[in-house]
C-alpha cells in the first residue's frame, strides 16, 4: 500500500483535531482510500506549549523548513493562521511542487490572487474547505456540485462567535458587552474578538464564497462591512415586535444589471425563515442557482473537530489526486481564469430599513422626522413609540420603511440627526426578505 506523507504547520485548536483524526482514524481512512495517510512532520512555535493532542515527540519541530520544500512531503497543511509567515510558506510550498491545504481565510482573502496564481502556475493544488463555515462542505458544493449553475445569490451566517452572541441577545436580552464576556468565558470568543465582532472574519469568508460563485476576488475595501458592536437590547425587542430576528448576514448576489452586490452587516430576517433559526455557534449558507434553485446548508462553523473534519477531507482529496491515474484536478476556485464584474456601490442598493430614533417626547417630533423621510422618497410602513420612561435622555421611536434607496436613506438620516429633538444617534438595521 502506498503512503502519502503530510506535513502539518500549526498544532493549535484545528491542527490538534487534524492530527487526532489522521492518527486515530488511520485504519478506516486506509480502508476508504486504499492507501495510507501519514503525519510525517508537525511544526509548532513552542515545543512546550500545552496541547489538546500530542503526536509522537519525534515528529515535532519548530522549523517549518523541515516541511516546506521537502520532496518526501507532498502535502503541506497550513494551520498556523495569520498573514506572515503563512503567505511566504504557502508560496514556497507551491513553488517547491507541494500541494497545500489551509483553513486560513484571512490569508486567502487578502493574498488569494497571488496564491491561486502560483498554484495555477505550478500545477499544484490549494484546498481550503475549512476556511469557510467550518465543517459545512460549501466550497466543494459550489465548485464541484453546482458548476452547471449561474449562481444568483449566496447568503449566509459565516461566523460562529457572533451568531452565539446574537442568539444570547435575542433569547435572553443580554447586552452586547455581557454576551461577549460570556462567550469569552466559555471559550467561544477569542481574547481579542475584533475580527469576529467587527465582521472581518465573516467578510473574509464572503470574499471566498464570492470567488467560487462568480470567479472574482473582491477586497474588503470594495464592499460594506459592519459588525455587531452597536446593537442594543432595544433592537432585538423591536425586531421581535416586527416579526424579525437579527443576524450577521453575508450577502453576495447578482443585481438585475449584472453587477455584484456584496455586503456584510447585521440584518433583520423574517423570524420564520430557516436562516433565522440558525442559532448558537452554528453557521449556514443559502445558495440560489438558476438551475438548482435554493440549497440550504447548515452545520458547525468552528471548533476543533468540525474544522478538522473539513481539513482532513481536503487532505484525503489531495492524496487521492496524487495516486497514479487520478483525474486532473479542478481549478482551485472552480474557474480557469478570474472574471471581472463591476461591484454595485452600497449607495445604490434598495432594501427595507429598520430605524431607531431617540427623541424628546413632545408634539410635532414624529411629523418632523416623517417630513424629512418623505422629502427623500422614503415611505414609512410601520411606527411604534415605546411608551416606557425616557431612555438615553429621550423616548424610543422605531420605524420600518418600505423599500428605499440606501443613498436617499443616508441623506435623510444626516438631516434628521440635525434635529434638536434627537437625544442620541439614530440606529439603522437593514431588513432582508430572504424569500
Active site residues: 205
For the stretch 171-180, contacts whose Cβ atoms lie closer than 8 Å and that sit 24 or more positions apart, written own/partner, are 171/279, 173/233, 173/236, 173/237, 174/233, 175/232, 175/233, 176/228, 176/229, 176/230, 176/231, 176/232
Only one of the segments 65-73, 76-84, 229-237, 274-282 lies at the binding site for ligand NAP (rule: CB under 6 A); that segment is: 76-84
Residue of 5, 16, 98, 159 that binds ligand HSE (CB under 6 A):
159
Q: Which is nearer to ligand HSE, 98 or 283 (CB)?
A: 283
Dist. CA 152–CA 140, nearest whole Å:
18
Binds 409: which of ligand HSE, ligand NAP, none (CB < 5-8 Å by kind): none
Question: Interface residues for ligand HSE in 2-21 (CB under 6 A)?
Answer: none
Given candidates 4, 13, 162, 298, which one binds ligand NAP under the rule CB under 6 A? 13
Among 7, 15, 112, 266, binds ligand NAP (CB under 6 A): 15
Of 17, 160, 227, 313, the one binding ligand HSE (CB under 6 A) is 160
Secondary structure class of 168 (helix, strand, coil)? helix
Question: What is the distance between the alpha carbons of residues 161 and 196, in angstroms, rounded to a whole number?
Answer: 7
Question: What is the per-residue binding string for ligand NAP in 81-120, x denoting contact by CB under 6 A?
Answer: x---x-----------------xxx---------------
Contacted entry of ligand NAP, ligand HSE, none for residue 289, CB cut-off 5 to 8 Å set by kind:
none
In angstroms, what is the minimal distance from the CB of 164 to ligand HSE? 8
Distance of CA 234 to the CA centre of its chain: 26
* Of 216, 139, 130, 231, the residue nearest 177 (C-alpha): 231
Residue 80 interacts, among ligand HSE, ligand NAP, none and using kind-specific CB cut-offs from 5 to 8 Å, with ligand NAP
CA 81, CA 193: separation in Å to the nearest integer? 15
Nearer to ligand HSE among residue 12 and residue 345 (C-beta) = 12
186 belongs to the binding site for ligand NAP (CB under 6 A) = no
Asked if 11 interacts with ligand NAP (CB under 6 A), we say: yes
CA 8 – CA 18 distance, rounded (Å):
9
User: Among residue numbers 306 through 345, which ones bind ligand NAP (CB under 6 A)?
Assistant: 307
Answer whether 264's CB lies under 8 Å from 251's CB: yes
Q: How far is Cα 3 from Cα 435, in angstroms, rounded to an integer? A: 49
Amino acid at each position: 500500500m502506498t503512503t502519502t506523507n503530510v506535513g502539518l504547520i500549526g498544532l493549535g485548536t484545528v491542527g490538534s483535531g487534524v492530527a487526532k483524526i489522521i492518527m486515530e482514524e488511520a485504519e478506516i481512512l486506509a480502508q476508504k482510500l486504499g492507501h495510507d495517510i501519514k503525519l510525517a512532520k508537525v511544526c509548532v512555535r513552542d515545543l512546550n506549549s500545552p496541547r489538546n493532542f500530542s503526536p509522537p515527540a519525534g515528529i515535532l519541530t519548530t522549523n517549518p523548513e523541515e516541511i516546506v520544500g521537502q520532496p518526501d512531503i507532498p502535502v503541506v497543511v497550513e494551520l498556523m493562521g495569520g498573514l506572515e509567515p503563512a503567505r511566504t510558506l504557502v508560496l514556497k510550498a507551491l513553488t517547491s511542487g507541494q500541494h497545500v491545504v489551509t483553513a486560513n481565510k484571512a490569508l486567502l482573502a487578502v493574498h488569494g490572487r497571488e496564491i491561486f496564481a502560483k498554484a495555477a502556475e505550478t500545477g499544484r493544488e490549494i484546498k481550503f474547505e475549512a476556511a469557510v463555515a467550518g465543517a459545512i462542505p460549501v466550497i466543494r458544493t459550489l465548485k464541484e456540485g453546482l458548476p452547471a449553475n449561474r449562481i444568483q445569490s449566496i447568503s449566509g451566517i459565516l461566523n460562529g462567535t457572533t451568531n452565539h452572541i446574537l442568539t444570547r441577545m435575542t433569547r435572553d436580552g443580554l447586552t452586547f458587552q455581557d454576551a461577549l464576556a460570556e462567550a469569552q468565558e466559555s471559550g467561544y470568543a477569542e481574547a481579542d474578538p475584533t475580527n469576529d465582532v467587527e465582521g472581518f472574519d465573516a467578510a473574509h469568508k464572503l470574499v471566498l464564497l464570492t470567488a467560487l460563485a462568480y470567479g472574482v476576488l473582491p477586497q474588503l475595501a470594495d464592499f460594506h462591512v459592519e459588525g455587531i458592536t452597536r446593537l442594543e437590547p432595544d433592537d432585538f425587542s423591536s425586531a421581535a415586535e416586527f416579526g424579525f430576528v437579527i443576524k450577521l448576514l453575508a450577502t453576495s448576489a447578482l443585481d438585475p444589471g449584472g453587477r455584484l452586490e456584496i455586503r456584510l452587516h447585521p440584518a433583520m430576517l423574517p423570524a420564520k425563515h430557516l436562516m433565522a433559526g440558525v442559532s448558537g455557534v452554528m453557521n449556514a449558507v443559502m445558495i440560489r442557482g438558476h438551475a438548482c434553485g435554493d440549497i440550504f446548508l447548515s452545520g458547525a462553523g468552528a471548533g476543533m473537530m468540525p474544522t478538522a473534519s473539513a481539513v482532513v477531507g481536503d487532505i484525503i482529496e489531495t492524496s487521492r489526486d496524487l495516486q497514479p491515474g487520478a483525474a486532473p484536478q479542478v481549478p482551485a476556485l472552480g474557474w480557469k481564469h478570474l472574471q471581472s464584474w463591476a461591484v454595485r456601490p452600497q449607495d445604490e442598493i434598495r432594501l427595507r430599513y429598520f430605524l431607531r430614533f431617540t427623541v424628546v417626547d413632545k408634539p410635532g417630533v414624529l411629523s418632523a422626522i416623517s417630513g424629512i423621510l418623505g422629502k427623500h422618497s422614503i415611505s414609512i410602513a410601520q411606527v411604534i413609540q415605546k411608551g416606557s420612561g425616557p431612555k438615553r435622555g429621550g423616548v424610543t421611536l422605531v420605524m420600518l420603511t418600505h423599500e428605499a434607496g440606501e443613498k436617499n436613506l443616508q441623506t435623510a438620516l444626516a438631516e434628521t440627526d440635525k434635529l434638536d429633538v434627537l437625544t442620541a444617534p439614530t440606529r439603522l438595521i437593514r431588513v432582508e426578505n430572504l424569500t
